[in-house]
Structure 1
């Protein structure tokens, strides 16, 4: 048996061009090289992701979601580089492919742009600590509670118990009110109308006493009563109290309305 001949034939098969991409003749050896690069990249990305997680844990990071997020971004970054190298090895020039693809390339360009914007926005959100897991925020008129911070988007729960997906770039570019950035205290207000013939001194006294006696208000912040609009056909007062959880504002506003209505026999 001629083993040298068999070895030569095998080597020749690996070196035989299978097809051509961008002027590069792709052989079996090149395909195998690209596959090895991808495999090594995936393994390396997993190792680096675990290393990043350990580094943050050793530094005392208590937010598991943030730690996992940094690890995942590191892994995706390494994989992107490795896949790019593998494609370049077999002669695929991504810039040339996009240029030749026309409309497809334009669509891919926008998709990549959006992905990059959301990834970078996610990094900025975590570095600035402007929005965190569990925060109650208002965005585009909706009050929501953040339940998950991902690499490309955040998940938030609405007052109707629906899940809302918010791109990270939207959180960066929009005006967002964070009710729990400094603390969780929230100023709750309601309006009450009384007749112009009512004793205004007694009305104010009754409203102040009613607000002070609310068990669920923040005790170290005094309630406020304002005469908002005097005259016909009704006189309007505003009552303001502080609560310790903005997420319960709807229920507490209902409780406040009932309390002041009963106190004035409305």
Structure 2
């Protein structure tokens, strides 16, 4: 009996640009009995000389294990072409933890889309520094953990959070308006695996009060940005952004209300892109297929 008889994988590749990459990957998959379901690619300008690709493939009724497939790909395709690559498989749902403070609009959107089947993830827990949203998590039957944070206990609480997230085998974390700055020690445990929603169209109006700053500046557009968290506050690789047009007639409260609608949509799109393996991080940029 074959150990694996039905494999659908998502292959992400970054490598130096050169002729024959698509042909080499396609020929490899064909020779292993795979049917290519979707393929997207992007080449940077010649000065940078990089190639990015996402390919979705399906193998059916094959005796080849995932480990053997990946070993063959590494030896025959990846190493000769200096590829940075990985394969995720659609039959394994990613485990997404949500961290949140008091604002409920982003987490509510995520939980509603998760329950409706739109987000194909498991959510092992909601972690918060306040207890305000405990009932919301309970309504969705998701465990809720409150770790209050202050200046004296922040390092200790972060270590406790790291321990719990690792025990839960969390694949990635969504900061759904978690109003704490994560330390470099925390971020280092989850590189490229923490998604934050910032209530501004970055790089404009970084920091804690972007709507007030936007109002004071008299902007005509407000927006939201979902990005991966790095040690540089609000400067990590951007996954998704959107804007809404405003005018002098809008007060600060109007900007906040409009902005929260954008935040929900932008964060959801970013999370879906991450879950569906459509994002490649390159330096401080992303390629989103």
TM range (shorter): under 0.3
Greater strand share, structure number: 2
Q: How high is the TM-score relative to the length of structure 1? A: 0.22
> What TM-score does the superposition give when structure 2 sets the normalisation length?
0.21
- Considering Cα pairs closer than 8 Å and 6+ residues apart, tell me whether 1 or 2 has the greater RCO: 2
Answer with 1 or 2: which has the greater Rg: 1
